Structure 1
Amino acid sequence: MNDPQLLIGGGRLDRLRTEIQDVRAAQFRRLLDQCDFYARENPPAEHPEASITYLGPAAAGFALAYRLTDQRQYLDQARRWIATAVSYPHWGRAHLPDHDLDAGWLLHGLSLAYDWLGSALPEAERTALREKLILQGDRLYRYAVETEGRWWSSSYWQNHNWICYAGLITAGYALRDGHAPAKDWTERALDNFRTVAEMLPADGSGSEGVVYWRYGVPWLGVAFELIEEQDGVDLFAACDFLRNTFSYRLHQSAPGWEYIVDHGDCHDRRSGHSLALYHKLASAYRIPQAQWLAERVRTGFLGREWHESGVKPGVRAEGYLELLWYDPTVPAESPEQLPTSAYFPDLGLVTARTGWRDDAVLASFKASPGGGHKAWDTSHRIDAERGWDTLNTGHHHPDANTFVLIGHGSHLAVEDGYANNKLTANHNVILVDGAGYAGEGRYHVYRDMPERHQAHVHSVVTDDGWVHAVGEAAALYPPELGVLRASRRILFGPSGSLLVIDDLAAETDRTWTWLLHTDQPSTALGDGRMLVRSGTGQVTVRALPEAGFEQTTTLVTANPTSSTPSLTVGRTLHTLRREIGPERSARFISLLLPGSALESTPHDHATFNTTEPGGGAEISWRHGDWTYQVRLGTEEIEATARADGSVRRIRAAGSG
């Protein structure tokens, strides 16, 4: 049998055969589990309306299992799945047949199977697979050339770009020795990935949200590994985004690790894990916490992630990559010694948590232009120079100045998750005369927006358990509203209390509406507080000075993938609203105090006093064992928290 050329060549296959008996035994078991699952499945004889992406990794998994074990059943299964994929006249049916995700996924998986199985495939089947790969590779390559400057071909910050070019480069490497045009495929894809490595934000933040991070970023690992192996170009070293992106994923993990912070398009709150990617990042950059998280998922809740994730094929299909990417020389180390807060300036993302325990409290706050600052600035420059349309941020919401609050095992202040009709009102933000940000009400809210249309975060301070940040979003509202200021300050305290201060101004009188979305309805406590209980967690919400709330519901529905038109996701949000105006300026001060819904907690209280002209105020409250005092001046904020003899202080600049 031939020696494979991709990923397991050069003697690696022999080493893997030894290591699956000891240091890779767990990953080998995962691969066999993947194979057992797909062996029980029957790929449809005719191309279904739904996505067929899973055919690629199914074939690759069987091919790798066969090369590792020489067991005939894995070869037979690989042949069955390959024959089905080859029989389809097109890859992809409902959306851009041959030219999008289905084609990319299948080109990758079936090209690996072609290389790995080699002469083990009967000659007629090998020839049919080769001709199909040539046909589909040529179709995808031609589409990329013809649409340069439009859609995924030049959308450097988008998962479609990474997946399609990763599929194309895998096919190119598998075929280029015997099919001269395949060299054009690899050269174009390599040039694209060089650009991607340069264009992505250095802080590692993902503007598409955690779900599309886990869906798209593994393909950078796929492509970069093949490029280094086949062409000797080390894009891992050149890509600061990939070097730092595990930190983004870590800080967007809900306490307990099973769930996520759901900024951006998120089918659900579970679909966030890729053990394969964690292993690749751990290996490439020697990140022990990435190794630890992969093991935590594998031994703790892999089965739930496998079966309950709304993103298909998800972690189920990644067994072959987990085995190949696991590096047993990287130690596993929990994040307990890492900072509990983080700031990702490109996405304007600030996160804070009370610790790494499962019952900790977490807040996540963000404000940035569409796609983040680097994508926004770079795309506007490229598009102006070349007449292109490179920024596709359909998974980025009109959510500047929103926040998520999670505590005691529950999501307490929540996002809409996934929406085709993206509305500012679906987020925890401010409406002006009932209107949200310009461009809302469509899928790609940032398309064709002028460069000045951007939000930003400043005054980020993390100190002694405190986290402070200010977001400014005035430039996002329609110009006719004349919004001069939409400043939101968040102050996260050592106990997990969250103080939110909105300072707003416009050229003329406006009605200002403050929004907070929760999973469960709230109950008025009769003293100005609203209580939201959600499973094991709860949060009290108070307006300072005391003001009433209106409670409504917000229905959000979406089709999260154009390749499966019948798939619908949705949720009903319970919404607290309060209004000021019409007035030219307004201030909302809001206090959110999370706690356990299962245990009695000390009665919290809050007071508010105006102490000086120009909007200065003093606020005090108690939260659990902590007492807080905050002085809000015109130029700065000072805060003190005390508990059990411990005193923690912070001072930060005003909101500008």
Structure 2
Amino acid sequence: MIRHTFATICIFTFGLLNARAAVPNHATITQAEVLKSLETQSPSWTATIRENRPRLYFSDTQWPQVVRELAALPAPRAALRDAFYSSMDKVVAEPPPEYLPPEQMVGKRGDTKTLYSAMEELWQREVGNQIFALAVAARLKPDAPYRAKMRELTLAAIAFETWGRNTSKMGNNADLAAGHIGRGIAVAYDWHRDAFTDAERQQIRDVIAARMPCLLKGLYGDAFWARGFEENHNQVSVAALAFCGIAFYGELPGAPEWLAAARLNFQRVADHASDDGSSVEGVSYWTYGMNYILQYIEATRLITDSADLYQRPFLKNAAAYRLNASTSGLTGNLPWGDAVTRDWSTPHAIIYRLASEYTDSDAAWFADNLPTPRGGADDRALNFLWARTAPASGSGPRALDHRLTVNDLVTTRSGWSSTDYLLSIKAGPTNRNHSHLDAGALALAFGDEWVLVAPGYGKGSGEGAFWQSGGSRWTYFSNATESHATLLVNGKNQRFDRDARATITGFFSSPDWNATTVDLTRAYSDVTSLTREVLHRRGDYILVFDTATATQPVTIEWLAQFRTDPIKPNSSTLLAEGKNGRLLTTLLAPAEQLTLREPTTPKVDVTQGRHFTYAAKQSGEALGFTALFQPVPAAKTTSALTTRVTGNHIEIFGEGWTDHLARSEKTSELRFSLTSDQTTAHISARLAIIRTTSAGIVSFIALDAASINLPGLSRTFGAPKNLTGQRNADGTWTISQ
């Protein structure tokens, strides 16, 4: 039975604070500045709105062209259209949802495991999604039963007692559930006014008039997301203000203020977004938030200047970020923070929209080659709606390495096919919304199968303490430093103040190599310096050098994390095997065994038997670790590498080749131990690796090099350079720098 409650006011009670992440240091949007902005904008808005119905996304004069474009969708995009109608037919056949208060929803869904999580009423998001999607379907096929179902769900939604509850000053109807339902109702009302009787339209207006002010008060400072312009809660919630502001403009007195507030908010979103296109919240929440940023722009661009946001760098770089955050083969994504390694909602719609806006054929290739879409009903609608204007596919990605210059994250891979591997190196801030204390962590996947892992979303997320980023959040194993493949100093978590972070200080990419250096000092207490340097010889191995100094003795643990418990083929090596490949891990220095380590944080919130930590430790004031990873895809029968370590010299023996490494604290003359039948090499650099075969010296990498003298190659540099060289058959060299 549906309980009918029409005009529900904002209810504010004080209890457990719904604190999420450390509050950003941004200014709250005030009503005074919104009203001042409204004075400037309202004349043009009023005139434009008077001339357009519908007002959201497309006008009546634009719809015929939209219909023609959708009818002409080529493969594989036409399949998105067919999948959409199939999903809508299933929605039509379902009974309308019954409203149950949070107390009765506990345990009924994955997002209502506890009363704390049930209070958010996140199950209502899909109701709003379906209303939106049915409005699209009814616009395209007015004779189908979609319009009647849209009306039924809209009337059901306005009868819900609340659209999300909260016991802090934020109050009810002020977060994600309200964002989804408000958006859906706005589109249904704007596009299909005559689907509702006069009395029903009044009921809709009454509920919208009562509940949108709850979101507005949240934006003015009552919600935890008010200043979180980089966060999905802000972007989703405020988008509903924009949708309703336009749909009800001229009918509800508050609507112009809602629209003006949303406009200022999304300008702040752009101001505080990362220019590299990424999100501090990680890939999963990037998809959620970016979807609503684009929906705001597209839904309001008939009326406002929202399309100007496309000139901002964060949108211009967004498609490249999401591509490079994909595993090789494109079926998975990076595991950092509160993430899942496969999207809740695949980003087809986002990438198609960006490809259309920037005429980006590479982005179109990415969208066309993504796996089968997943997500809500609204995603299925936007997938094909935004695919209609995307250019033809390009040739696909060419770069194998990618660096985020704002959020400090690197991906380096052997290739882009599902049989290739990806290594990710995590830096950036430690304490942002949905982040973990994972500075310097490594993760490696073969295809979409993560073998060297990060824990992702912990099972404690249904508890209030999980979100208290000032302290108790870090008592959960999934969020703590010890669950990530990084370093643990004196058994303590990394710092979680707002200034705590790791910074990428060196990045070099060439066809055969990637070299990345991360300064971890500001992420830790008790050390004066801490650096991680990663060298990736593409297709062969990964070397990791960690160096720490302190003013008094410290104990540092070197951590590796695996999905399955590795075996030990010998006393010094761990072998982690997956379906798609195997990873050999050897600690070269100190010559210690990696041993199984049990969690020490109070709350272990990962699945038993699905996360294994191995560690080695040493103590002192000047410490270093050197580790070797050898990734071997399942299709290859490559033998395990062998090594010889002598101080700052390492020899790595492969099948038919030997790599000779020498390193120093700063650029200096490096000496190599080469056999008598090979020409002596002279390289002045901080680190260099020479590869020899039976043909002699065949390639090299030199970091911070001052001079190179090899057979057929002699160069001196005025300033230190990073470069690699490959010797050609005629004795000349191909240099990358």
Q: TM-score range by the shorter chain?
A: 0.7 to 0.9
**Counterpart check, 1:28 vs 2:78:** no
| Alignment correspondent of 2:488 | 431
Which residue does the alignment assign to 1:252? 325
Quickly say closer, same or farther: Cα 1:571–1:181, change in 2 above 3 A: farther
> Where does 1:329-368 land on structure 2 (aligned, <5 Å)?
329-336=390-397, 338-368=398-428
Distance 2:416 2:69 in 1: 33
Match among 103, 127, 131 for residue 55 of structure 1:
127
Partner of residue 560, structure 2: 516
Distance 1:346 1:363 in 2: 19
Whole-angstrom CA distance in 2 between matches of 1:626 and 1:112: 64
Superposition pairs of residues 232-631 of structure 1, within 5 angstroms: 232-271=305-344, 273-297=346-370, 300-302=371-373, 306=374, 314-336=375-397, 338-370=398-430, 393-407=432-446, 410-419=449-458, 420=466, 421=476, 422-439=479-496, 446=497, 449=498, 451=499, 453-478=500-525, 481=526, 483-545=527-589, 546-552=591-597, 572-581=610-619, 583-597=620-634, 599-610=636-647, 617-623=648-654, 627-631=658-662
Q: Distance in 2 between matches of 1:327 and 1:260?
A: 26
Paired with 1:172 and 1:647, the residues of 2 have a C-alpha distance of 66
Paired AA for residue 630 in structure 2: L
Aligned to 2:189: 114
Aligned-residue offset at 1:527: 4.7
Let me know the Cα RMSD of the aligned residues: 2.7
Summarize the Cα distance change of 1:648–1:248 in structure 2 as closer, same or farther, 3 Å threshold. Answer: farther
Q: Look up the match of 2:140.
A: 68
Q: Is the 8 A contact 2:267 2:309 kept in 1?
A: no
Equivalent runs, 1:155-174 vs 2, <5 Å: 155-174=228-247
Write out per-residue CA displacement over residues 105-138 of structure 1, whole angstroms, 9 at most, x where no aligned residue. 1111111111111112232222222222222212
Identity %: 23
What is the TM-score with the length of structure 1 in the denominator?
0.84
Runs of 5+ unmatched residues, structure 1:
307-313, 372-392, 440-445, 561-567, 611-616
Residue aligned with 1:428, SS: coil
Task: Tell me, yes or no, if the aligned pair for 1:555 and 1:571 is still in contact at 8 Å.
Answer: no
* TM-aligned CA deviation for residue 36 of structure 1: 2.4
What runs of 5+ residues in structure 2 fail to find an aligned partner?
1-51, 106-117, 459-465, 467-475, 667-685, 706-719, 721-737
Q: Distance in 1 between matches of 2:288 and 2:609?
A: 22
Question: Are residues 193 and 400 of structure 1, via their aligned partners in 2, closer, same or farther at CA, if it must alter by over 3 Å?
Answer: same
Change (3 A) 1:324 1:435: same
Match of 2:703 in 1: 652
Picking from 45, 57, 60, the partner of 1:7 is 57
1:145/1:153 contact within 8 Å kept: yes
Q: Tell me, yes or no, if the aligned pair for 1:275 and 1:315 is still in contact at 8 Å.
A: no
CA distance in 1, matches of 2:143, 2:692: 65
Flag the 1:328–1:146 CA change in 2: closer, same or farther, 3 A. Answer: closer
Summarize the Cα distance change of 1:641–1:243 in structure 2 as closer, same or farther, 3 Å threshold.
Answer: farther
2:528 is paired with a residue whose SS is strand
Please give the secondary structure, in 2, of the residue aligned with 1:276. Answer: helix
The 10-residue stretch of structure 1 (60-69 or 592-601) with the greater mean CA deviation from structure 2? 592-601
Moved more, 162-171 or 94-103: 94-103
**Matched residue of 1:500: which SS?**
strand
Cα 1:245–1:28 change in 2 (3 A) is same
TM-aligned CA distance change 1:640 to 1:123, over 3 Å: farther
SS in 2 for 1:630: strand
Q: Which amino acid aligns with 1:525?
A: P
Write the letter of the residue equivalent to 2:506. S
CA distance, structure 2, for counterparts of residue 73 and residue 409 of structure 1? 40
Following superposition, the deviation at residue 650 of structure 1 comes to: 2.3
Residue of 197, 204, 207 corresponding to 1:129: 204
Q: Which amino acid aligns with 1:470?
A: T
Alpha-carbon distance change, 124 to 181 in structure 1, aligned in 2, over 3 angstroms: same
State the Cα distance separating 1:281 from its structure 2 match. 1.1
Aligned twin of 1:390: none
Tell me how far apart the structure 2 counterparts of residues 509 and 296 of structure 1 sit (CA, whole Å): 52
Q: Which amino acid aligns with 2:85?
A: L
**Compared CA separation, residues 597 and 67, structure 1 to 2 (3 A):** closer
TM-fit CA distance, 1:424: 0.8
Tell me the number of residue pairs that the alignment of Structure 1 and Structure 2 aligns.
591
* Bigger-Rg structure (1/2): 2
* 1:37 corresponds to 2:90: yes
Instruction: Give the match for residue 97 of structure 1.
Output: 172
Verify the 8 A CA contact 2:235 2:292 in the aligned structure 1.
Answer: yes
The match for 1:78 among 139, 147, 150 is 150
Deviation at 1:240, TM superposition (A): 0.8
427-436 or 327-336: which moved more? 327-336
CA distance in 2, matches of 1:200, 1:626: 46
Q: 8 Å contact 1:361–1:496 — kept in the other structure?
A: no
Mapped to 2, the partners of 1:644 and 1:30 lie a distance apart of 57
Contact 1:404 / 1:414 at 8 angstroms: preserved in 2?
Answer: yes
Equivalence for 1:145: 220
The SS at the match of 2:333 is coil
1:316 Cα offset (Å): 4.6
Q: Which moved more, 1:214-223 or 1:227-236?
A: 227-236
